[in-house]
Amino acid sequence: MIKTRLISTGLICAAFLLGAPEMYGQKTPGKDQAKTPVNLKDPQNLGPALSAKQQDSLAKTSKYRDLAWTAQADKKWQASFNQEQGLAYLAESRLDDTTQTAQRQNLQERLRVLDKKTIFDVAYHPSLESVIHLFLTEKRDLMERMLFRSQYYFPLFEQELDAQGLPLEIKYLAMVESALNPTAKSRVGATGLWQFMYDTGKMYGLEVTNYVDERQDPVKSTQAAVRYLKKLHQVFGDWNLALAAYNSGPGNVNKAIRRAGGNRNFWAIRPYLPKETSGYVPAFLASMYIFEHAGPLGLKAAPLAVPRHATDTIQVKQWMEFGALAKELSVDSALIAQLNPQYKKQVIPYVEGERYGLRLPVEAVGRFVANEKQIYAQLKPAEQARRAQVEAMVQAAPAVTRYKVRTGDFLGKIADKHQVTVKQIMQWNKLKSTNISVGQSLIIHGKNTGSSPAQNAVAASEKSSTSTTNQSDTEWYEVRPGDTLWSIAQKFKDVSLDQIKQWNPQLGNNIQPGMKVKVCSCTP
């Protein structure tokens, strides 16, 4: 494949690219000073410290502690991810922040060598240099945490990529998407290692229920991401463009190509891409560069105590909760949660015809298989009590759907369709006005949700008292804030929405507070 290269001139800051530790806040060891490696098991390096009880629990299961410790990093990254929108956002904010250095040639040479080893176009660009600098300075601690996690996730990614004939370097894309956090969630709802939106996940077979979110399943989400990326590459014939389309959608990339006069080089179309996507590919290339040169750049990670090849899966035959299972197997529940992030409530459901797996360290799998009947029997009483508790929570939680605004829609019409009020839709979506636009996504909760039991009781009482009122005394109804034609019809006995519309043809669906609505067939 012929790669189009865009080499920029100018004085660029790249002293950090020599890999000199002192450039990033590290001390350079002298002749008599031993270099101390970064201890990634230290909670100070992985986020908030654990409680004394948690530390004692982990100390008793030290052979499982690595992934349990890294859970603290997950929490720390989760907070920064929601605030910063991932590495692509960080990259976008620093794309053109570069200064002079005499070491630019060193970076260019390294990139030339890397370019020969990969199918991706990693030619030098000032924006790429700026992102590398950002990641190696301000986000160096995050890079080391991801280097630690990559030992667990990269073998899985490489296996799935190789099976589909895709470049193994695509594994670095998950760093940009989620910082290798399987439970990462963006402010717009993208979830998991590969940040699938709900609809896209459904298209690629990822199940989302009250108990399970397969977008957080490392295996299934990786398989889905690989299929999606393969399709995008077939469309664009260029991996940089395929990655940009993964982030912003094929439509935005095609639009950027047209605005760039048909030029299909990423750097040429970057000014025409959405703001975050403009930093997306540079973030990917910077991540690839840093991890391919982790040693020379001074990045270190402690080895995993439980690497992926030291785990295995079993199919469960009974509803079970992580905490109770952990006690039976003498495995820390935090480790079980880390190995099985797809289970949202730390319980594994049992549904006839469905196959739900449990990943455990191989030693624990052996103990489980050898004592399977006894373990199921021991778990039964505790599981029944816990199951009743969780299912009560699930039933109490409202069903949530997303509605995409169509031409001709307005909040009153949407509220009528879903049998909710305009006020509820505005509250659920934090709308400051009733103005909506075509294509806008709205969160809609199930019927009568968003109210407390007391509020529902009051509403039922009001409806009952209103329904028993003589219709001759309630010929007209004055519209109140939040009312819709459907909600008005519900206030009166034997009055339907169709009747309200028939008696008030002049209103259509557009009603405002203070209007009078006829609520009976009586003549004036």
Residues labelled catalytic: 177
Phi, psi (degrees; rounded to nearest 5) at 420: -130, 180
The tokens describing 68, both together, are 């349990």
Helix, strand, coil proportions of the chain in percent (round to 5)? 55, 5, 40
How far apart CA 356 and CA 204 sit, in angstroms, is 18
The tokens describing 72, both together, are 């603290």
Print the SS3 string covering 49-109: CCCHHHHHHHHHCHHHHHHHHHHHHHHHHHHHHHHHCHHHHHHHHCCCCCCCCCCHHHHHH
Phi, psi (degrees; rounded to nearest 5) at 157: -60, -45
How far apart CA 443 and CA 198 sit, in angstroms, is 12
| 63: number of Cβ within 10 Å | 13
- Per the CB < 8 A criterion, the answer to whether 152 and 218 are in contact is no
The tokens describing 99, both together, are 């200064």
How far apart CA 369 and CA 376 sit, in angstroms, is 11
In the chain, the amino acid numbered 206 is L
